[in-house]
Every structure is written in structure tokens, then in C-alpha cells.
Structure 1
Amino acid sequence: MLIRINSAHVEDNYNSQYKKVEGITNILLLGTDGRENEDKYRSDAMMILTIDTIHNDIKLTSLARDTYVDIPGHGKGKLNAAYFWGKEDLLFKTIEQNFKIGLDKFVQVDFEDLMNIVFVIGGVDVEIEEREIQSLNEGIPGAYNSCTYAEKGEMQLINNAGKHTLNGYQAIAYARMRYLDNGIYRDGRQRKIISGMFDGVKDLSMSEYPKLLNTLLPYVKTNLTVGEMLNLAFTSYSFATSKEIKQAEYPIIDDKHVKGGKYKNAGWVWLYDVNSTGVLHDFIYEDINMEDNEYLKDDSKIELNY
């Protein structure tokens, strides 16, 4: 197991500009979709996984990849371009400087490897809507063909709405759907997959965690050390198995604190209210649900980042 963990561990030189908040651990979850022989590619999914031992909660916050931000050293552009220009270090710096949130660690997995992880844990339970079936089935053949899991079996489509236990290639096809609606719905589907993965393993006993880690670690890259992994597992185990994961999206997608559209040479982006970063901060550190934040009741301080 130690060999597995060491093979997944990567050193990083980034030092957060924010002082560590005792009881709050923010782990940036990165889903990448690089093609073979590509040295540079964008982060396809970005979420902040918050382990909050102050309020005994786990939180999962999607960061919209089309958010218009300042990328240190590269001017303005989409958030997911930061990974293209400088991998995890530059993405860390970009998120911290624009959103005023301190990040502690990261875990990165390629979408192709995520398929194998879903197979290993026995699938993920997801509620499929009627309107999603056609788009999902259109994406399944491509995901199936690229799936390397040895026991993937015959390709299976989804025939009806309702709760389904999605296997690896079905789950990735679901997470990649983008033309049915928009990127915000896509972020929500990605959170469903991650939450489903948590639900799939939360009934395991602590004694089963080493075996699970040993199986999953070849598919991930992280700057978490052995001690940090075990400490986070121990400290969060009691409430992680008894509570639902709290979920959020940033920027705040409404008709006031964000504006979507083509802007300058950046393409289609989300221009967001820079003062609403306090709502994100309150969700992560103070455990205040975004929709309940008092700031959203006063429109006088809205300042979009034109």
C-alpha cells in the first residue's frame, strides 16, 4: 500500500497565500481529459472538496470552468486555461487570488482512469431524468470504446428514467454530457457522480480502507502524503458516513450576480460579481448555505468583473 501511495504522490512547490484554518481542509479535485501525446490540456472539471471538522460536514463546490478570471502571468481568460498554462500550481494561485479561498491539497484523475475507479467501487447510483437518456446513450459508445477496464463486459445503454447504478463508462458518459443544456448542469452531473462514489464506499469499515486505497491509487495523482490521507480518513469518518454531502456551485448562477456570454477574445464566459466571493467563503468556512447568505438579499454591492 505504501508503494501504491508513493507512486500516486507528487511533490509540489506551491505555498498557499492564506493561513491554514484549523478544522478546514480544502482539497481541489481535478478531472482532466487530455488526449494521448498531449503535453498541455485544460482541466475539464474542478471542485473544492471541503472536509470541515468544525461543523462536521463534507462540502463539494463546483467551480465553473468558463469563469472569467485573472490568470497570474497570462492575463484574463477562462478558469480552466490556468491548468493549461501552469498545471496545478498556477490553477491553485488563480483560484486563491480570484476567489479568496485557501487551498491545501489536490487530487487529480483523468476521465479515462475515473471509469476504472467507478468499476472498482461497484458503480455509482444516479437518478437519470427522462430528458437525459438520449444524450447519455449517444455518449456511451465512445466512452465504452475508450474504457480499458478488463471486465467491462458488453456495452449497455440506459433504457428508462429513474435510479440506475451506472458502471464506469456509463458514469463518464453522464459526466461529459454538455450539449443537452449547459456547463452548470454538467457541473451538477459531475457532483452527482462524485457524491455517488462517496455513497458507494461510505458503508465500508475503516479496516477495508487500505485495500480500497491500494486498488484506486494507481489511477490518481495527488500531493497528499500517506499521513495526511490516513488523518483525513480518520477525522472525517464519523460524519462522512452519516451525513449527505453539501453541494454548491460558484459563481452564483442567477440573473444578478453573474452574466454569461461572449466577451472580448475569451469566447463564452461567466462574468461574475467579485464581491460574491464572500458567499463562497461563508459556505466553506462558516457553513452558511449559499442560498441563505444575507449578501444575496442586497443588490447594491454587485460588481461584475468586466
Structure 2
Amino acid sequence: MKRLKQLMIILLLVLLATPLAIFGLSVSYLSKINSSNIDTGSLEKHSYAHKDGIKNILILGSDARPGENASRTDSMMILTIDNVNDSLKITSLARDAFVNIPGYGYSKLTHAYAYGKEKLLIDTIESNFEIDLDDVVLINFQSFISIIDAIGGVTVNVTEDEMTEMNKFIPETYKWSENPDKGEMTLITRVGSQKLNGYQALSFARIRKNDSAFGRDNRQRMIVSNLLKEIKNTSKLKYPFLIKAAAPYISTNMSTTKMIKYSIDVLRIGTGSIKQMEFPIVSSEKYSTGGIYGSYGWVLRFEPESIKILKSFIFNDVQFDESKN
């Protein structure tokens, strides 16, 4: 999942950093990103911690299948564009964080999206973590089928057992692919290193019955790691076409003008060193406790004191140092 989050981050930074590089095409494709039909009132008012010159963008990775209108969020992160301290920061929010969801009571953070989509999730994050969010981006993981196809495929090593299992998924993922040039469905017919297209790669990532969840994680890391290399080695002239491929699967409340404004900030600050934090803080029992809690199942309960550390990271650019806490 860590690698999947990295790909989400890189995808968003590609979206933000490209408009100035190849302005015309990029702006045209950015304008095709879906406008999220959410109540932006909760984003526009400042009820919690905020600071001029610092913008917090909520990035959501949806695990929705094609045809589903609502689902839990598979990944939640806050991208902080900090023009005060000239830094970019990513805060990963645990799906199992135990929070008070307005109108629903205590539950896992991931449930807030299923109950009330973006607006309720925004309200839940702001009220529990005491920080203001400025904008939101929803990325459906189906977009990565299109990204893989746009980049020309991804190379992985396929074993015989994996070939058998992934061929069971291909008929379904083939239907999910909206690539007009996908041609006839193609099963995998040999083992070894080979380049997979989008729907084949997704089938490879879904395998788990022939070994374990650990094996599945390894396959997902392999795909994402190799895809990151492909993107890194791709000419920036191709970035607008990556945006074109991903745009139908991305929703945001941001206008094209605002995305261009953020792109200027990202390019000025640079993406070479992105500071990261996970919340709740799981490296110390002083700040969080994980385990079965009544009827809620496995949750992460965090101490109120840890919110100060989160806000210090986002607004004061102070990274958490376990040895000093």
C-alpha cells in the first residue's frame, strides 16, 4: 500500500507540475477533470487550525469498482503546499483511525466516506484532527489502468502459478478497461519477464489465492515500483497525455485556475524532497493504541496530545522525532 500511495502522490504532482511545462495541452486536459459535486462550504470556512501561505489538499484514493457510486476510501492523504517554509509534505491518514463521525458516532475513519462521501469525510477529518482543509482530489484506482496503457505498459516477472491465476481475472478487468485501443482480450501465455497492459497488470495485482496477502502486496509493489521508473524516464512532453488518460477518473473541487496556481507553487518549491508523516503515530504506544475495541473491530485509537505533533508538522514544518518524544 505504501507504493500505491507513492504512485498517487506522483500522479497528483504530475497533474500539478505539468501545466507550466507544456501549457496549452495540459490546461486543455486539466479542464476535463471532473468537478466534484460537494458542498465546498466546509472547505471555505476556517473553523480549525490554518495559516496563510499554507494549503492542505485532501487526496482520496477510491476503491470503488466500476458502476459503484459510493465506497470506502482505500487511501487518504493530506498534501501540504507550504509556501511559508518552502516545503511539500504528505500526511497519510490511517483508514482504521478511531474517530467521531458527525451524525454517526464513533467508527473507523474510512467509514465516513461511505456514509456521506467527501463532505462528511472532510468534516470528520477537520473536527477530529483540528486542521482546516482547503481542497479535495478523488482519484479512482481504475485510473491506473489508463496510466499504464498511456505509458506503454509495465514490465513484471510472471511465474506459472501467477499466470494461471491472473488469467482468471483478465475477463473481468478487460471489461473495466475503457481504452478504445485495447483490442481483443489477451490472456497471458508464457512465464517470465514481460510487459503487461493496463487490464493485465490489474489482474496481476489482484492475485492472492495461490500464496498469501503478503505475496499480493509484493506483486503490487512490483507493479508500482516499475511503473514509477517508467514515469520517471518518460519525457515531460508525454505528461499531458498521461493527464488526458487519468482525467476522467479524477474529481476535484478545484478550478483549472487554482490547479495552475498550485502548479506554480509546486514547481517553485520542487519535488526533490517530500516530507512525510503517518497519523495516528503508530511508532509509539504513547500516542496511539491499536487493537480490537468492542464491536468496532480493529481500530487505532490516538491520544489527543498527538494532534499537536500533527499540527506542528503541517504548519510549523517540524518533523516528528521519536527519540525526542
Q: TM-score, normalization: structure 1?
A: 0.72
1:81 aligns with 2:111: yes
Structure 2 equivalent of residue 251 of structure 1: 280
Structure 2 equivalent of residue 10 of structure 1: 36
For the 8 Å contact 2:147–2:242, the answer to whether it is kept is no
Structure 1 equivalent of residue 298 of structure 2: 268
Question: 1:235 and 1:167, CA in 2 relative to 1: closer, same or farther beyond 3 A?
Answer: farther
Which of these residues, 121, 129, 133, is aligned with residue 103 of structure 1? 133
Question: 1:176 and 1:150, CA in 2 relative to 1: closer, same or farther beyond 3 A?
Answer: farther
Secondary structure of the structure 2 residue equivalent to 1:15: helix
For the 8 Å contact 2:96–2:298, the answer to whether it is kept is yes
Amino acid at match of 2:109: L
CA-atom RMSD in angstroms = 4.2
Matches within 5 A, 1:72-221: 72-121=102-151, 142=169, 145-146=172-173, 148=177, 149=179, 168=198, 170=201, 180=213, 196=228, 200=232, 204=236, 212-221=242-251
Deviations 1:266-291 (A, max 9, x none): 1111111221011111221211222x
For the 8 Å contact 1:202–1:240, the answer to whether it is kept is no
Q: Matched residues in 2 for 1:174 and 1:279: separation?
A: 35
The structure, 1 or 2, with the larger RCO (C-alpha pairs under 8 Å, 6+ apart) is: 2
Gap regions ≥5 residues in structure 2:
1-26
Amino acid at match of 1:200: K
Deviations 1:168-206 (A, max 9, x none): 5647966998x646xxx99x96xx77x94996389737x
Structure 1 equivalent of residue 254 of structure 2: 224
Question: 1:150 and 1:102, CA in 2 relative to 1: closer, same or farther beyond 3 A?
Answer: same
Q: TM-score, normalization: structure 2?
A: 0.68
Secondary structure of the structure 1 residue equivalent to 2:65: coil
Amino acid at match of 1:15: S
Question: 1:286 and 1:199, CA in 2 relative to 1: closer, same or farther beyond 3 A?
Answer: farther
Q: Give aligned pairs, total.
A: 279
Q: Matched residues in 2 for 1:59 and 1:173: separation?
A: 31
Shift of 1:151: 6.0
Question: 1:233 and 1:82, CA in 2 relative to 1: closer, same or farther beyond 3 A?
Answer: same
